[in-house]
Amino acid sequence: MDLPWQVQVADAALALALLVSVVTDLRSRLILNAVTLPALAVVLICFFWVGGVEQLFNCLIGLAICALPLLLASWKGWMGAGDVKLMAVAGAASGWPAAAAVLLLVSVAGGVQALLWILAARLRGEERPKYVPYGLAIAVGTAAAFFWGDQLF
């Protein structure tokens, strides 16, 4: 099925934001506003263009599903604000109900990533890591949701 060009642009904005954020998170432990905020704007504009207010509302529901749990975690200091904004982009691009699959698969990817980082530190004889760059888990979980999420729900 051919997607409208606006949806393709929105998906490309999400993919680019995920790719750049993985690199910056791994290198400097930062997910940049200069990446996430324009990507979010592109996603929202493109979906509004395709489906009007109804589709925009669908994107906002997806944004809330993905970003609110991470926002709560960021208030506790467990997660950075960049992670929250990147998840907002992923949620907006996926919309309802696919955002539930994004949240679930990102959570699973984050758990697996944390375990692997802890195991790698142990094997190297180092302390358990204090920080795990969650941008990688967000990218992997979001990609998995876009490819296989419809099979979950």
Q: What does the pLDDT read at residue 21?
A: 98
Other Cβ atoms closer than 10 A to 4: 13
Residue 39 CA: distances (Å) to CA of 11, 19, 86, 126: 10, 12, 9, 37
Q: Which residue has the tokens 């009007």?
A: 52
Identity at 97, one-letter amino acid code: P
CB 78 within 8 A of CB 70: no
Helix (H), strand (E) counts: the chain: 5, 0
- Report residue 86 CA to chain centroid gap: 5
Q: What does the pLDDT read at residue 153?
A: 65
Q: With a threshold of 0.95, does the pTM exceed it?
A: no
Per-residue pLDDT of the chain (153 residues; tens, 9 = 90+): 688 999 999 999 999 999 999 999 999 999 999 999 999 999 999 999 999 999 999 999 999 999 999 999 999 988 999 999 999 999 999 999 999 999 999 999 999 999 999 999 999 999 988 888 999 999 999 999 999 877 776
Q: What does the pLDDT read at residue 39?
A: 98
Q: What does the pLDDT read at residue 1?
A: 63
